[in-house]
Amino acid sequence: MADLRVEELSASTIVAVNTLSLKPGQERFIAPESYAIAATVVDPATSWQRVILDGDEVVGFVSAGFDADAPHEHFRSVLWRINVDADDQGRGVGRYAVEQLTNEARARGFDHVNVIYEAGEGGPDAFFRRVGFTPVDEVESLPLHPGFAASWPALREALTVRPAIVVDVANVMGSVPDGWWKDRAGAATRLVTKVSRLVERGVDAEALGLSATRWFPSVTAVLEGQARSAQPVAPAIEVRHAPGEGDDEIVAVVREVAGAFRPVVVVTSDRELAARVEELGASVHGAHWLLDQLN
């Protein structure tokens, strides 16, 4: 592996990156979907995406972000994802990739790098420990810089917060008498596109009842009835096309996300639906809570 080198991701290497293989069972340890979505909306000027080559062969990929102005400390210098082809694992490719990443971090003025990954038996925890990362639960035992030590309790708490928003598109759409009934799919497309753009720029922390300034929640927009034919371009959110009643689909989504996310916010002015999701632990905001942020 003496010929390893790092290059910026390009049109000539992206196909090879997309075909990198993983060993059986490793797929579930790729960064959780909410963080993958966040990575897609980071300003390109702050992202760092590189391929690792052995000679002319792509053997690995690393995606990171450096943004000194990010509202959350753990997103200012962060390793989003590192993939090493199954046939090349155990040969030093991953360590080399992390070394290149930390060199870049130092060059940009950062003194550490955070990593976010899905934990579990057979996961990447042992690798990250070997290359110098410290698990969150062990940070306090280190000789920390006084400023960082003072901030750590609040930062540690923030790491456990993963907000999610579920949007009752039909209800929000129907709260504005703008002629939506003439073209339900078109109105839904416009609304969902606006919601995606909101997520891209971040949701106001105060609106979510959270600390810091802005958050990038996991957002699911549920379409029903004639609006199911809408095909919005909404890369920052998930769009669900309810096979039956929209309310039932919203309840199903809340059940799915309730265990992994907090807080869970449902946007609807429907009292019956509100009561159903509140029983599952979600909080509810009326349609204009969202509309005020879109305008």
pLDDT by residue (tens digit) across 40-99?
445 667 889 899 999 999 999 998 989 887 766 777 888 988 889 999 999 999 999 999
Helix (H) or strand (E) holding 70: none
The predicted pLDDT at position 209 comes to 92
In the chain, what are the domains?
Answer: 4-158 (3.40.630.30), 164-294 (3.40.50)
pTM equals 0.64
Q: Can the peptide bond before residue 24 be classed as cis, meaning omega within 30 degrees of 0?
A: no
**Predicted local confidence at residue 24, as pLDDT:** 78
pLDDT at 33: 44
Q: What are phi and psi of 162, to 5 degrees?
A: -135, 85
Choose between 154 and 253: higher pLDDT: 253
Least confident of 23-32, 121-130, 147-156, 183-192: 23-32
The confidence score (pLDDT) of residue 280 equals 96
Q: What is the pLDDT of residue 87?
A: 92
pLDDT at 21: 86
Q: Which residues contact 161 (CB under 8 A, 6 or more apart)?
A: 210, 215, 262, 263
Question: For residue 124, what pLDDT is reported?
Answer: 85
Q: What is the three-class DSSP state of 17?
A: helix
Task: Among 72-81, 122-131, 223-232, name the one with the lowest average pLDDT.
Answer: 72-81
Q: According to the model, what pLDDT value does residue 278 have? A: 97
**Strands lying side by side in the sheet with 238-241:** 238-241, 218-223, 164-168, 264-267, 283-285
- Each residue's pLDDT tens digit, 104-118: 999 999 888 988 777
Highest mean pLDDT among 27-31, 36-40, 153-157: 153-157
Q: Which residues pair with 265 in a beta bridge?
A: 165, 283
